[in-house]
Amino acid sequence: MELVEYTVKGAVALITLTRPPVNAINSQLIAEIDEAVGLAEDEAIRAVVITGAPHFAAGADIVGFQKTFDTGGSERQASGLGEAISRFANLEKPTIAAVHGFALGGGLELAMGADFRYLAQSAKVGQPEILLGIIPGAGGTQRLARLVGPQRCKELCLSGRHVEATEALSIGIADKVVPDDELLDVALEAAERFAAGPTQAYAAAKRAVSRGFDRPLEEGLSIEAEQFARVFASRDAQIGVAAFLAKEKPEFTGS
């Protein structure tokens, strides 16, 4: 891969976007993000961090949009990015987006595909597509609404404004704000803790939340019960219960 670095330390995968100067998203970067996410599907990987520096990703490469207009073609980049983000969101292990600089447009959409978003203090996020006369096309209107509520989502999407890290934390876009020079270390340390945990239970919890959200309560409870039964049969459940009874720290295997 030319625009994405994929590295592994222990059971943690680090996906780093490396398209200077601002990680503008084009078709090649989308393909390589998808390739890296595919590598992270390996069962040996138990947590994932995605990042980019000095900017996480400052949105789509607008030159590509103009070429589409010039050739009379249809815009497929957003759908490709949306598919890659959905694949990332569906990873059955904890994921963290470590956001430096700008995460705008498709960059914020990518960050919202993670379970958690850790922002550097200087980071700014937003969905500025409206300023180009378009709207988010890779999940922005949907994932953002689920994080901050529909009214706040409309305000952000219709204004296109940039949101400072402290506000992002207060409205639910960010889960943590960290000094710039500590961000990646904090994200990787959290990922290492997740990687030492009960991977099957993490996956079950993610499935229960995503499949039960916005369903009638009874359907959601049924989904939860199904996932509970599934994870109760795991080896890690036996390890966790035995360690609790023995008053010991569990050593989960991820199985």
User: For residue 108, what is the domain's CATH number?
Assistant: 3.90.226.10
Over the Cα atoms of the chain, what is R_g? 19
Residues 140 and 239 in one domain: no
Q: What is the pLDDT of residue 61?
A: 75
Name the token pair of 213: 């959200």
Residues 123 and 212 in one domain: no
Q: What is the pLDDT of residue 68?
A: 64
Residues 12 and 128 in one domain: yes
Give catalytic residue positions: 109, 129
Residues 59 and 135 in one domain: yes
Residue pLDDT, tens place only, 24-36: 999 999 999 999 9
Residue 255 falls inside a structural domain:
no
Residues 29 and 153 in one domain: yes
Average of pLDDT values for 220-245? 94
Q: What is the pLDDT of residue 14?
A: 98
Residue pLDDT, tens place only, 60-86: 877 766 666 666 555 566 678 999 999
pTM: 0.93
> Distance (Å, rounded) from C-alpha 46 to C-alpha 28?
26
Residue pLDDT, tens place only, 193-214: 999 999 999 999 999 999 999 8
Q: What is the pLDDT of residue 23?
A: 96
Residues 153 and 27 in one domain: yes
CA distances from 173 to 103, 115, 220, 227, 233 (A): 11, 11, 24, 27, 34
Residues 221 and 136 in one domain: no
Residues 9 and 120 in one domain: yes
Q: What is the pLDDT of residue 64?
A: 65
Residue pLDDT, tens place only, 2-60: 999 999 999 999 999 999 999 999 999 999 999 999 999 999 999 999 999 899 999 88
Q: Domain limits at 53?
A: 4-195
Q: Domain count of the chain?
A: 2
Specify the 3-state DSSP secondary structure of 94: coil
